[in-house]
Amino acid sequence: MNNVQRICEAAILAGIYRPAEVEYMLKNNIEIPLHTKSRWKKKGMRVKDNMEGIKTKLWLKKGKEDKYYLVDVVLYSDDMVEKTSWHQILSPVI
Which parts of the chain register pLDDT below 70? 86-94
Residue 63: per-residue pLDDT:
81
Backbone angles phi, psi at 91, to 5 degrees: -75, 135
Instruction: For 65-92, write each residue's pLDDT tens digit.
Output: 888 999 999 999 999 999 887 545 555 5
Of 44, 19, 42, 41, nearest in space to 32 by CA: 19
Residue 85: per-residue pLDDT:
72
Residue 93: per-residue pLDDT:
53
